[in-house]
A and B are shown apart, each in its own frame.
Chain A
Amino acid sequence: MRMSLELSREVTCIRSMAWRCDLPSQLNWPALVAQMLTFDLTQQQAAVKGLTRLVSPRGDEIIFVAASGRVQIRVHYTVPEEQRRFVAERLFQHLVYALRRI
């Protein structure tokens, strides 16, 4: 499956904390999640059905909305503002690697 990916700053009130990209909704989500879990992320129960929530040891989060293909990367609020973009890009990189493996 060919797709183009772009990481953009998400609608947010806490500066540079949330980032977004969009994937095709028909993706093999369980396979993607399995690959993401190889990157020191753990899957935690999402409070809402239909969401998948992966969390880093520091508390950064990647949220998948399978029905729409939306991906939100949330950098933990304790990360200084000037570093948030780099943290988000690092998590985005994990996502790209995981996508290439499925």
Chain B
Amino acid sequence: MAIGDLRGLFAEQSLSFLAEIPYIYHCHHYNLFHDQTIDDALGEDEGARIRTAAAHNAFRDLLSAVYERSGATTPVERIALASELFQWMGQGKLHLDVGAGGGRARSASLHYGYAWREKYGARVKRVEPADAVAAGFAAAATELAFGLPSDAIAVTERKCVATRDAECEFDLTPAMGHPPLPPVDEMAVRRYVVPPVRGVDEDRIVAISQGLVEFMSGVQGDERGLIAAFNVFVTAHLPGYYNETIYETVHRAERTAPSSVPAIEALMQQAGQACVFFTFGNVLLSPEWEGLVGPPTGVSSDVISFCTSIARGLGFGHWLVNEYEPRKRLVLQCTSNYEVPFYRSRYGLAKKPRSYFIQGAAQAMMVLAEVVKWKERPQLSNDYYVDLFRAKPRYRVEQTKCLMRGDSISEYVVDAM
């Protein structure tokens, strides 16, 4: 069975599944920013532990579902299929040399390590490994290949391309297992969406997002397991990873250091800004976009509609424009997103709005629409990002409704300052 045959689409909510486990697309800028955010909040050691555990749990859910549907039962079949899946997702090509007691894994091309070296390697010296996602995947793949319980395998990345080693290397060792949590699968996702609503410019947004979904359906990892598209490295990734890392981090801060919570929430918002600036921006400036939609027009309402289309095309959920007044106000809503089902399934109702990613994304959409000169071929550099989002605050965002809190919809209001 081909990996692509395991895909499913909840089209009216713009959500995608692999073997009924949700998946989305994020680029290396967001992925690296996200991981850095977790480490900034918790410290490098605890951040790496939380990230590895989240990847471990997320890939256990995915691999279990893939094995069940593909009929892979033997260790050899399961290890081969796991490696193929990881490569297909653009996460890298990982060689697993493992048995029931653990073993080793290695790779010269993992998304996180490779992209980190590409983005920062010339300027920054890194001492900590970057591939918690591959580490968690390797542990999950080993456990499931040999019928071991959850967390029966511990993993350490001892060499990393991002720390200037030639290859990334992982040690997998026996550990104490524990019962896994139930997966957040398609059935759970469908429980936590509300009927789709039409927004401003809906017909055009639907048409463009359908074109993007079709384009993305042809995107998969190359012989190194990487995806270079839209001038960034792209991954098919698991919302379970992002959500567990974000919400475990925030909840821990709420328990142990409440005064740090606003700063941590702001960091999570910034990750959403980085995603829209780098990922959405590079999509908008790509030849593929030009072929699909046309060259940038510089019209701000176009940028708002296009960003909404891109969010849907990447599987972020049914985002819609409820209200838009150029230079003044954007009201973005969601009838579904990839954060809500996880939060509601794992933690129940939230006491306050918690879609940090979309809060930052909505704010960034307004900045992209109103400030960036699209017809002048802007360079989407780190310096420009800092200039747009750190130098002078232009817009503030408030999430006024949240499906996690039990509201009828999620809503994000962006106003000029």
Contact = CB atoms under 8 A, between A and B. Distances in A.
Contacts of B380: 11-13
Contacts of B10: none
Given A13-B231, A70-B295, A47 B288 contact: yes
Contact of B290 (A13, A47, A70, A77): A70
Interface residues of B, number: 31
Nearest to A77: B228
B379 interface: yes
A42 B122 CA distance: 33
Contacts of A63: 287
A28 interface: no
A78 B218 CA distance: 22
A59 to B, nearest CB: 8
Interface string B214-243: 010011001010101001110000000000
Contacts of B119: 13
Given A10-B231, A65-B290, A47 B295 contact: no
A88 B263 CA distance: 43
A51 B218 contact: no
A46 B290 CA distance: 13
The A interface is mostly helix, strand or loop, or mixed, namely loop
Contacts of B246: none
Nearest to A12: B231
A20 B222 CA distance: 24
B221 to A, nearest CB: 13
A51 B287 contact: yes
A39 B205 CA distance: 40
Interface range, A side: 20 to 34
B231 A81 contact: no
B175 to A, nearest CB: 36
Nearest to B288: A48
Contacts of A17: 228, 231
A50 interface: yes
B36 interface: no
A50 B286 CA distance: 13
Nearest to B284: A11
B285 interface: yes
Contact of B278 (A13, A18, A67, A74): A13
Q: Which of A13, A48, A49 has the most CB of B within 10 A?
A: A13
Given A11-B285, A77-B118, A46 B231 contact: no
The B interface is mostly helix, strand or loop, or mixed, namely mixed
A47 B231 contact: no
Nearest to A51: B291
A90 interface: no
B299 interface: no
Nearest to B290: A65
B378 interface: yes
Given A47-B215, A48-B215, A72-B287, A13 B228 contact: no
Nearest to A76: B228
B247 to A, nearest CB: 28
A10 B222 CA distance: 23
Contact of A49 (B122, B291, B377): B291
A77 B234 CA distance: 13
A32 to B, nearest CB: 16
Nearest to B118: A14
A2 B360 CA distance: 48
B292 interface: yes
B378 A15 contact: no
Contacts of A65: 287, 290-291
Interface in A30-59: 46-51, 59
B106 interface: no
Contacts of A77: 118, 226, 228, 233
A47 to B, nearest CB: 5
Interface string A70-86: 10101011100100000
A47 B292 CA distance: 10
A93 interface: no
B288 to A, nearest CB: 5
A17 B232 CA distance: 10
Q: Pick the 8 closest A-B CB pairs, nearest first.
A: A48-B291, A50-B291, A51-B291, A12-B231, A63-B287, A11-B285, A47-B218, A72-B287
Interface of A: 10-15, 17-18, 46-51, 59, 63, 65, 67-68, 70, 72, 74, 76-78, 81
Given A11-B379, A47-B288, A49-B292, 11 more contacts: A11-B231, A13-B27, A13-B28, A15-B118, A15-B122, A46-B291, A59-B222, A65-B287, A67-B291, A70-B290, A76-B228
